[in-house]
Amino acid sequence: MTTTSKTPGKTTIALEVLVTIARLTTLSVDGVSRMATVPSEMNRIFKRGVSEGVKISVDEDVVYADLYVILKHDFNVRDVSHNIQANVSRAISEMVGMDVGKINVHVEDIEINSLEL
């Protein structure tokens, strides 16, 4: 009786999957109101890994993210930013098993509820 072992194939993760993980995880953090628009770049339409509020790149199987957010006014900016970095890093590591390099959080604005003024 001969046993043959099959060599596992290759798994690839689309950049859009990483973008979705980063965006949904960021939006789930207390203090985040919504994602901001990624500042426009030349030929941004043709770049992969860029979506509303998220810019992802992968270099040698290490994920790098830039997250553009609008925060709620009654939260500490530093705490919210740290929570975003920790949660997104953990989500990417746990869900796709990739290492995370840097997660840069860009606070683009603070949302002030006009009814409270």
Total length of the chain? 117
Q: Given this model, what pLDDT does residue 39 score?
A: 79
Q: Which domain holds residue 77?
A: 15-112
Q: Report yes or no on 73 lying in a domain.
A: yes
Q: Report yes or no on 30 lying in a domain.
A: yes
Q: Given this model, what pLDDT does residue 43 score?
A: 45
Q: Report yes or no on 7 lying in a domain.
A: no
Average pLDDT, the chain: 87
What is the spatial distance between Cα 92 and Cα 85, in angstroms, rounded to a whole number?
11
Q: Report yes or no on 33 lying in a domain.
A: yes
pLDDT tens digits, residue range 53-89?
999 999 999 999 999 999 999 999 999 999 999 999 9
| 12-to-9, 16, 75, 80 alpha-carbon distances in Å | 10, 12, 38, 31
Q: Given this model, what pLDDT does residue 48 score?
A: 61
Percent of the chain with pLDDT over 70: 83
As a whole number, mean pLDDT of residues 7-28 equals: 92
CATH number at residue 57: 3.30.70.1350
Amino acid found at 57: S
Q: Report yes or no on 68 lying in a domain.
A: yes
What is the spatial distance between Cα 66 and Cα 23, in angstroms, rounded to a whole number?
10
Q: Report yes or no on 117 lying in a domain.
A: no
Q: Report yes or no on 6 lying in a domain.
A: no
Please name the helix (run of DSSP H) or strand (run of DSSP E) that holds residue 69, with its range, or none: strand 62-72
pTM of the model: 0.83
Q: Given this model, what pLDDT does residue 31 score?
A: 97
Q: Report yes or no on 76 lying in a domain.
A: yes
- 3-state class (DSSP) for residue 113: coil
Domain count, the chain: 1
5 has pLDDT over 80: no
